[in-house]
Chains A and B, each alone.
Chain A
């Protein structure tokens, strides 16, 4: 009984995960579009693309090889190497969501996180101030926008 309780607590503690179903990914990259809009200042798709500067980078990247494609975003590892590698503690674990998040104000753009990330899920954004750009699981949203807007349910969210 006690063990079960512990497990439940652990489950609650961990971050939600976005699971990939590559057999249904069409490679439309609408997840990237929606991610960019969600992290823009205006959250308006046309303004985000046409007028905003610096433009955020999508925290999700569609990997493609032939007809196989899938949307890859940060796995929010339990034992995240980027947390260890970050010089400035910009990369931190969110207290509420347990997601691994980069604080753009602290980030100095040294790219060490990119070097150590085993999934290649962190990107460089050099449009404005150099920062590491990655998935933050859309804090404040029930379901990350990439999952919500995937037209073929090729990514699903598990809490």
Chain B
């Protein structure tokens, strides 16, 4: 017997007493879950089509809708879980690779939740950020080994040539999300919010749309394996250039933007024919070694006359520390590391959930390695992959990161509820879609406002936590692992993280 190919994941509960049949849900659902019956003048819902994005629940004016996980249960089995059975059923029906979006959702340990921050008591005073200035400003780029000065007094001048830097008012940047994987309105929101908040967003591999050149000063442009949209003006418009080697959600594999998403505008931006698949190869075909990477880094630096920092983004994999060391030695001004829980618009589920290492460990081992080799100052370290709160950010900085990239958190602030169907192109929130019916649901003014609010809220919280530790500048916390203690971690975890166990004094 043919099993049903897609087992029901959610059920839509409609309170008939509250439903006024206004049909807002019918009009708004891109998955056609809700239908209006003109004979009975009622709205019915087909549970099997629901992806759990909660858009209808949000829009329903009477609160008549609740989305629940399907209560249909299989025989309890710790090995053959409902998810496993559903996945096998899907694959038996389609014969295809299981696709998903966003970051790894498996219950691997989240080290952030096992790391605790310090605070001042008696022997050192804490600082009230409402009364005293707190410094969150961060510079991303290569720092000189030492500073030499000429002149004295008022004529004191720095003699050492300084490399180009990115100046961040908050230690948080928006991760690479391409125009194509997300809508132009989502890109506009990110760009506008970056400009307002004094930080940067990243074009991903999608090129830079002509409307976004005005935000060039807050843009990091990516050069990835597909080289989509890379040209002279693109490089010159940006504040920094990032060579993308890998991504946390899909280390070791390339990208694939299906042809149906390659609209006229995307085709112009990516410089590929409209309707053609945008395939990013797994490796850069001109980078097979650190030496090859060095060539590309310097080719890009040369192209922008050494005026902009050039960084390299890699996924956190087992060998991340030596790789990062090689990248720094190859001349990168910053290294971005994307951990296991980093998100994506589309990836095979099996890759997302099984490849890579958590970002916490990656930050710690990379920072330690670069310090041991005496090259930590030569590049900044940007951490990415599943940062959920200001606490995660401040812990990452204390572990040794210079700044963090947020992607999923940014999308959530714009509406996303992590239904993980980005690859379907039917994002009801107007984020991960190119459908003109859906993209206009994201008003970039609202999107940017919400992103700015998020950055503001997190920076206030970071200042509060810093003040509690008696520190008035984020710079003094960077790599200051004495401010962290591990709880419920093994000796190996603590050793790799380079932190003491909770309860141990200085």
- The 8 A CB mask of A120-157 against B (1 = contact, 0 = none) is 00000000000000000000000000000001111000
Judged by a CB distance under 8 angstroms, whether B24 is at the interface is: yes
Q: Which of B18, B21, B23, B59 contacts A151 (CB 8 A)?
A: B59
Looking at A45-53, A81-89, A90-98, the stretch in contact with chain B turns out to be A45-53
**Cα A28 to Cα B443 with chains together (Å):** 14
Which of chain B's residues have a CB closer than 8 A to the CB of A49?
20-22
Residue B440 CB within 8 A of the other chain? yes
- Within 8 Å CB of B58, what residues of A? 151
Q: Is the CB of B28 within 8 A of A26?
A: yes
Is A29's CB under 8 angstroms from B20's CB? no
Task: Kindly state whether residue B5 has any CB partner on chain A within 8 Å.
Answer: no
A34 at the interface (CB under 8 A from B): yes
| A17 CA to B440 CA, complexed, in Å | 23
Contacts of B62 in A (CB 8 A): 45-46
List CB contacts (< 8 Å) of B391-440 with chain A.
Answer: 436-437, 440
Q: Which positions 23-39 of chain A face chain B at CB distance < 8 Å?
A: 23-30, 32-34
The residue on B at minimum CB distance from A48 is B20
In the complex, whether B61 has a CB less than 8 A from a CB of chain A is: yes
In the assembled complex, the Cα of A69 lies from the Cα of B22 at a distance in Å of 17
Nearest CB on B from A156, distance (A): 10
Question: In the docked arrangement, what's the CA distance between A27 and B24, Å?
Answer: 8
Q: Smallest distance from the beta carbon of A112 to chain B beta carbons, Å?
A: 31
A154's partner among B18, B23, B443 (CB-CB below 8 A) is B443
Using Cβ atoms and an 8 Å threshold, which residues of chain B touch A50? 20
Instruction: Tell me which of A30, A46, A154 contacts B24 (CB under 8 A).
Output: A30
CB-defined contacts of A26 to chain B, threshold 8 Å = 28, 440-441
What separation, in Å, do the CA atoms of A32 and B442 have in the docked complex? 20
A contact residues around B441 at 8 Å (CB): 26, 152
A99 to chain B minimum Cβ distance, whole angstroms, is 25
Partner among A27, A34, A67, A152 whose Cβ is within 8 Å of the Cβ of B443: A152
Q: Please count how many residues in chain A sit with their CB below 8 Å of the partner chain's CB atoms.
A: 20
Indicate whether A46 sits within 8 Å of B20 (C-beta atoms), given known contacts A25-B440, A28-B28: yes
User: Which of the listed residues B22, B23, B62, B446 has the most CB atoms from chain A within 10 Å of its own CB?
Assistant: B22
Write the chain A residue with the least CB distance to B428: A26
Q: Which of A24, A29, A152 contacts B22 (CB 8 A)?
A: A29
Q: How far is the CB of A138 from chain B (nearest CB, A)?
A: 17
- Contact assessment for A33 and B22 in the assembled complex, using a CB-CB cutoff below 8 Å: yes
Q: Give Cα A45–Cα B61 distance, bound, in whole angstroms.
A: 8
A30 touches B61 (CB 8 A): yes
Give the Cβ gap from B474 to chain A, nearest Cβ, in Å: 35
Partner pick for A24 among B17, B24, B28, B443, CB 8 A cutoff: B443
- Asked if A28 and B20 make an inter-chain contact with CB atoms under 8 angstroms apart, the answer reads no
Q: Considering only CB atoms, which chain B residue lies closest to A47 in the complex?
A: B20
Chain B residue nearest to A151 in the complex (CB): B59
Nearest-Cβ distance from residue A59 to partner chain B, whole angstroms: 16
CA A50 to CA B62, docked complex, whole Å = 12
Question: Once the chains bind, are A29 and B27 in contact (CB under 8 Å)?
Answer: yes
Partner among A24, A32, A46 whose Cβ is within 8 Å of the Cβ of B440:
A24
- Residues of B with C-beta under 8 A to A27: 27, 437
Q: How far is the CB of B440 from chain A (nearest CB, A)?
A: 6
Can you list, as one digit per residue, whether each of A36-67 has a CB less than 8 Å from chain B (1) or not (0)?
00000000011001100000000000000001
Chain A's nearest CB lies how many Å from the CB of B459?
A: 25
Which residues 52-66 of B have a CB within 8 angstroms of A?
A: 58-59, 61-62
* B493 adjacent to chain A (CB < 8 Å): no
Chain B residues with CB under 8 Å of chain A are 17-18, 20-24, 27-28, 58-59, 61-62, 436-437, 440-443, 445-446
- Given A26-B28, A30-B22, 18 more pairs with CB closer than 8 A: A24-B443, A27-B27, A27-B437, A28-B28, A29-B24, A30-B24, A32-B22, A33-B20, A33-B61, A34-B61, A67-B440, A151-B58, A152-B441, A152-B442, A152-B443, A152-B446, A153-B443, A154-B443
A binding-site residues for B, Cβ under 8 Å? 23-30, 32-34, 45-46, 49-50, 67, 151-154
14 A–B pairs (Cβ distance < 8 Å), ordered by A? A23-B440, A26-B28, A26-B441, A28-B28, A28-B59, A32-B22, A45-B20, A46-B17, A46-B20, A151-B58, A151-B59, A152-B440, A152-B441, A152-B443
Q: Which 8 A-B pairs have the closest CB atoms?
A: A49-B20, A67-B436, A24-B443, A67-B437, A26-B441, A152-B443, A28-B24, A33-B22
